[in-house]
Structure 1
Amino acid sequence: MMQPIKWGVLGYARIAKNSVIPAIIKSDNSTLYAVATGSDEKQQECRELFQCPNLYSHYDELLEDPEVQAVYVPLPNSLHKEWAIKAMQKGKHVLCEKPMALNASECEEMIRTAEQNGVILMEAFMYRYTDRIKKVKAIVESGEIGEVRYLQSTFRFLLDRPNTIKVRPELGGGSLYDVGSYPVNFVGMIMNQLPESCVTECVKDNGVDVLFSALLKFPNGVIASISSGFNAFNQMNSEIIGTKGRIEVPDTFLGTEGSIRIVTTEGIRQVQTEESDRYTLEVTDFADAVLNNRKPLMGLEETYRNMQVIDLLFKSMKD
């Protein structure tokens, strides 16, 4: 039995506190070893909630600790590249929150650093570990709905937290980077290729998009519609339409139990999906990849392609 991977967390962000740190603690092959945050209050909370044995006031201090094997980066989007690269240069494996970077060029530099230092780098799209997504992929690959012709995917919510990093342009804010990266990834997962063109529309507030929509056209004639936003009521769903039928995917990016609806000429079929502890599954897969020197579920080729698509969307975005 191999020793569990010792994790360090750079920053005590909401997603770290509420989702990933608990996942590290629950995972059989991982242990929470260190957290770095400059806030004394957050250090105290982390100590009380998670009994974290090592708390640092500076990110560099955590990276200098030779016991840290893997680092989780939940920092603002604009800081992903800097701190992921610093961690990898110290020989740490890195699980980096989505989007991996602000653009494909930054992403390419991060991938190159991982290769040069012989470490694993992965983008944290936890939804890919759910039973829901595994079944969607299996249905598409089975040919039940025929050849894919059209996709749509949406993720939006009403953002009511003032001064959040999500609306600060200097930190990589905006709905496309935040919730919009999920539909981009979902479409990329199904299509497995770059679009040849796109058209976009957005509404901006204080320099970031709060409502975004795009149509992507692929070389094989498929069109995909994606949308995201911070300024309207919650919506999260996707649909894949083929030559023989369609798949309706409510709650696309959640780990809740539910059902997928398949409509064909033979009628309507409901496929039940089980609840999935997506963050724990993600952490466990990443740690297992480190322990067994293998690739994790989310490959860097896909991450780089996603960033290329986001570049294309921003280039097309109107002010």
Structure 2
Amino acid sequence: MEHMRWGVLGASSFARKQMARAIHAAEGNRLAALATSSPAKAEGFAAFAPDLVVYDDYDALLAAGDIDAVYIPLPNHLHVEWTLKALRAGKHVLCEKPVAMQAGDFDRLIEARDKAGKLAAEAFMIVHHPQWHKARDLLAEGAIGRLRLVDTVFAYNNPDPENVRNRSGMGGGGLRDIGVYTFGATRFVTGAEPETLHATLEMEGDFDTFAQITAGFPGFAYHAVVSMRLAARQYVTFHGEDGYMTLTAPFNARVYDMAELHLRRQDSFETRTWRWPGVDQYVCQVEAFAAAARKGTPYAWPLEAARGTQEMIDRAFAAGGVA
């Protein structure tokens, strides 16, 4: 089978450093095209994809008949618009998170996906990392007994006013950038949705820089801190009646630290540890996406799953007094 040929809309730093490289490295996939008005930015992509075709217009790339799928790393407020355009152009679409700004936007995306007969998904890479499948399996097996609490932190310090996450009108802020992980990871492992939700937010203009979220899920409590103004830290702990398990690099495996999962049971003085030092979750994501698009393999994070996380984000803003 021929490679799935990918185009990238926009020469973002993250695309150049992570996703475009993952696309080119993934088995059965090839980075074939880039749309950017900056020749200098294109050079960084051509360094590892020398046969790259560069377009100076997004629509021109979407019109290319030799592109099967597109990856969209544009600012958040442009995601829905360009995902819809790509689907109408007959492309499979992997769009950065959050793929939409409100849960209601998913109706248009799902309708367009189904009409086009193409795969459209949010780039929620963590669900393709084996550490999260191990956590879900351990919970289902009863390794920690009845789950009573999920406690999680995801923080980094980025006060740069030029960064898109800190610019008004572009859909930035911590909840949209990294809250999707603290919310989505809990939903993925437990299969549960929150019944109640409370939020305390610190805002700078129209985006949040600090959020503390408490929620009540069926049978367990949830606590999360999400911030763009704290020293870098991340973990997730699932605390049950018989033990607990902690993921120490749950979201940026291999970047923040090596992926490790620690399981501690109250009936033992031992801690069991699983490690995944060599797994690139971005490559895993691309390969899973290509398999789903071409072979119909079940995809771990369809738009319907992403919608549930967006509903939590919407509720957090409402609970924090942000319209």
TM-score by shorter chain over 0.5: yes
Count of equivalent residues: 317
Aligned mates of 1:274, 1:308 — CA distance in 2: 31
1:77 aligns with 76
Say which is worse superposed, 137-146 or 189-198, in terms of deviation.
Answer: 189-198
2:260 aligns with 259
Aligned mates of 2:187, 2:311 — CA distance in 1: 11
2:57 aligns with 58
Please point out which of 214, 220, 228 is paired with 1:230: 228
Q: What is the identity percentage for the equivalent residue pairs of Structure 1 and Structure 2?
A: 26
Asked whether the 8 Å contact 1:259–1:270 carries over to 2, the reply is: no
| 1:93-130 deviation line (CA, Å, top 9, x unaligned) | 00111111101111221111101110001111112222
Paired amino acid for 1:223: A
Aligned mates of 1:255, 1:147 — CA distance in 2: 27
Aligned mates of 1:167, 1:280 — CA distance in 2: 28
Q: Which stretches in structure 2 are left out of the alignment for 5+ residues?
A: none
Asked whether the 8 Å contact 1:107–1:307 carries over to 2, the reply is: no
After superposition, the Cα gap between the structure-2 partners of 1:258 and 1:194, relative to the gap in structure 1 and judged at 3 Å, is closer
Say which is worse superposed, 14-23 or 246-255, in terms of deviation.
Answer: 246-255
Asked whether the 8 Å contact 2:159–2:166 carries over to 1, the reply is: no
1:317 and 2:290 aligned: no
Paired amino acid for 2:318: K
Aligned mates of 1:283, 1:16 — CA distance in 2: 13
Say which is worse superposed, 93-102 or 260-269, in terms of deviation.
Answer: 260-269
Q: Which stretches in structure 1 are left out of the alignment for 5+ residues?
A: none
Aligned mates of 1:92, 1:286 — CA distance in 2: 13
SS in 1 for 2:178: coil
RMSD value, Cα: 1.5
Paired amino acid for 1:44: E
Aligned mates of 2:168, 2:195 — CA distance in 1: 28
SS in 1 for 2:174: coil
1:118 and 2:117 aligned: yes
Paired amino acid for 2:237: E
Aligned mates of 1:133, 1:64 — CA distance in 2: 37
Please point out which of 227, 238, 241 is paired with 1:240: 238
2:201 aligns with 202
2:292 aligns with 289
Shift of 1:45: 3.3
Shift of 1:189: 1.1
1:167 aligns with 166
1:130 aligns with 129
Asked whether the 8 Å contact 1:80–1:100 carries over to 2, the reply is: yes
SS in 1 for 2:234: strand
Paired amino acid for 1:248: T
After superposition, the Cα gap between the structure-2 partners of 1:51 and 1:101, relative to the gap in structure 1 and judged at 3 Å, is same
Asked whether the 8 Å contact 1:24–1:280 carries over to 2, the reply is: yes
How high is the TM-score relative to the length of structure 1?
Answer: 0.95
Aligned mates of 1:105, 1:94 — CA distance in 2: 19
Aligned mates of 1:147, 1:52 — CA distance in 2: 53
